[in-house]
Amino acid sequence: MSQVATRSLSDRFADRTNVFGTSIWTSILSHKEKHPDPVYFGDGAPAPELLPISRLAHASAHVWEDATSALNYGDSQGYLPLREWIVNHVANRGIDAEANQIIVTAGSTQALDLAARVFLQEGDAVIVENPTFLGALEIFHTFGVEIIAVDCDESGMRMDKLQDALAAHTNVKLIYTIPTFQNPAGSNLPLDRRQRLAELAREYHVAVFEDDPYGDLQYSGEVIPPIKSLDDQVVYFGTFSKVIAPGLRVGYAVAPQDVITTMLATREVSDISNDRITMRTVYHTVQDGFLTGHIQECCDFYRSRRDAMLAALEREMPAGVSWSKPDGGFFVWITLPSHIDSERMFDVAANYGVVFFPGEWFDPEHRNNHAIRLSFSTVAEDRIAVGIKRLGEAIRSLQ
Ligand SMILES: Cc1ncc(COP(=O)(O)O)c(C=O)c1O
């Protein structure tokens, strides 16, 4: 074959593709390979023990029995019975919506991307929490927008800092927030801050994107309603990834009608619809009250793992280390002494046999970072004890 024919075309790629650096998964893999038996605290996914596989298989078989119409094009906005089920589900969280204000998507990631396409263009700015979900940062980066990071404390985004950011930047289009059991910090934004956030968004006429993948997974503390329940203009994102399985790729957005209509038009040029068989399978899996019982089971299971992690941290962490005590979700956020850099900790801990996500990956400003995120959802309690002991040894080695 001639040289011309084999030349890479990567120099012809669009500039916006520059935001995709070396995959974090490559880095995770190489760190896992540093030890014969690593404890991995990186998964933001359900425990394999909790996957409702037989119920899914049963639901899928039922769907295939009468699949002719589902195998045609259709359901761009989402399978109607599933959207009606979501109406009832979010009503339990105080959200008042109709089925036509919901779009079903390939995970909440796609919903976030579609909503971002509706709102964002070059020159705009997005306000995010610091730290925040790195998947959202990657989406916003593809639009070439300015990212403005607002500081958080142990309860979540600080409203004084949010107000300062809104006052200082006239190009803000939206505030992206994960108020409930935040990824990565595990915080739960108090009600008065949620009210204030909605108030500020109205005052400055900016959209609120409320990402809520963990709201159903609460193990202790008071239940705080979503911002969407306080203000119907909020664009709210939900998912079946954390309570059923991420591999199904079924999530949704609940938003005002004009936002949904434009998201729908946007998605039709991309993938037309979700997989129609999977949407029906999810519907037949969750209906008849199954999900309520399943969520209860998940909460009991994860509560034990969270408690095991908090107890191990109490035993093993040296002085100068602090950590969040989340009431729900999957994550504990560890703050290391300020002389320990998060990426360095990532490298050193891997040699001790413990792998996690360094805080740097969640930092919109990539400042000097000295935090790490540990997920307890997929690690058995005896392995949590082993992993946290190793982490303690790794931290001591840097002191
Ligand atoms: C805050 C947050 N948003 C969105 C997602 C993506 O979820 P999905 O699988 O529904 O795309 C995750 C998954 O880790 C998450 O933590």
Give the residue from 254, 288, 322 where a domain finishes: 288
**Does 279 lie in the same domain as 136?**
yes
**Does 321 lie in the same domain as 174?**
no
Q: For a pocket test of ligand 1, which of 86, 105, 133, 178 has the largest count of ligand atoms closer than 8 A to its C-beta?
A: 133
Give the whole-angstrom CA distance, residue 32 versus residue 313. Answer: 21
CATH at 172: 3.40.640.10
The pairing of beta strand 357-358 with beta strand 371-375? antiparallel
Query: pTM of this prediction?
Result: 0.96
Q: Which residue has the tokens 């993938």?
A: 271
Report the pLDDT value the prediction gives residue 2, as an integer from 0 to 100: 52
Determine the structural domain holding residue 175 and report its residue range. 67-288
In a domain, 390, yes or no: yes
Report the pLDDT value the prediction gives residue 11, as an integer from 0 to 100: 86
Give the whole-angstrom CA distance, residue 398 versus residue 187. Answer: 28
Q: Output the average pLDDT for the chain.
A: 95
Centre of ligand 1 from the C-alpha of residue 109, in Å: 6
Asked whether residue 22 carries a pLDDT value surpassing 90, the answer given is no
**Does 72 lie in the same domain as 18?**
no
Q: Which residues of 291-322 are buried (b: 16+ CB within 10 A; e: fewer)?
A: beebbeebbebbbebbebbbebbeebbeeebe
**Does 305 lie in the same domain as 283?**
no
In a domain, 216, yes or no: yes
Angle of the 257-268 helix axis to the 107-119 helix axis, nearest 10: 100
Give the whole-angstrom CA distance, residue 60 versus residue 51. Answer: 15
In a domain, 56, yes or no: no
* 17 CB-near residues (< 8 Å, 6+ apart): none
Report pLDDT digits (tens) over 81-102: 999 999 999 999 999 999 999 9
Q: Hey, CA dihedral for 86, 88, 94, 100, is it positive or negative?
A: positive
Report the pLDDT value the prediction gives residue 204, as an integer from 0 to 100: 98
Please give the tally of structural domains in the chain.
2
Centre of ligand 1 from the C-alpha of residue 77, in Å: 20
Give the whole-angstrom CA distance, residue 75 versus residue 67. Answer: 14
Asked whether residue 21 carries a pLDDT value surpassing 70, the answer given is no
Q: Please write down the long-range contacts of 162-169, taking CB distance under 8 Å and 24 or more positions apart.
A: 162/127, 162/196, 162/197, 162/200, 163/200, 165/127, 166/127, 166/200, 166/203, 166/204, 166/206, 169/125
23 pLDDT band, cuts 50/70/90, is: confident
DSSP 180: B
In a domain, 175, yes or no: yes
* 267 CB-near residues (< 8 Å, 6+ apart): 76, 103, 105, 110, 114, 273
Give the residue from 288, 308, 328 where a domain finishes: 288
Share of the chain above pLDDT 90, in %: 92
**Does 104 lie in the same domain as 239?**
yes
Q: To 10 degrees, the CA torsion angle through 89, 91, 93, 96?
A: 130
Give the residue from 225, 255, 288 where a domain finishes: 288
Q: Among 153, 223, 225, 234, which residue's Cα sits nearest to residue 200?
A: 234
Burial of residue 199 (CB within 10 Å: 0-12, 13-18, 19+) is middle
Report the pLDDT value the prediction gives residue 160, as an integer from 0 to 100: 98
Tell whether ligand 1 has an atom less than 6 A from the beta carbon of residue 211. yes
Q: For a pocket test of ligand 1, which of 108, 181, 279, 362 has the largest count of ligand atoms closer than 8 A to its C-beta?
A: 108
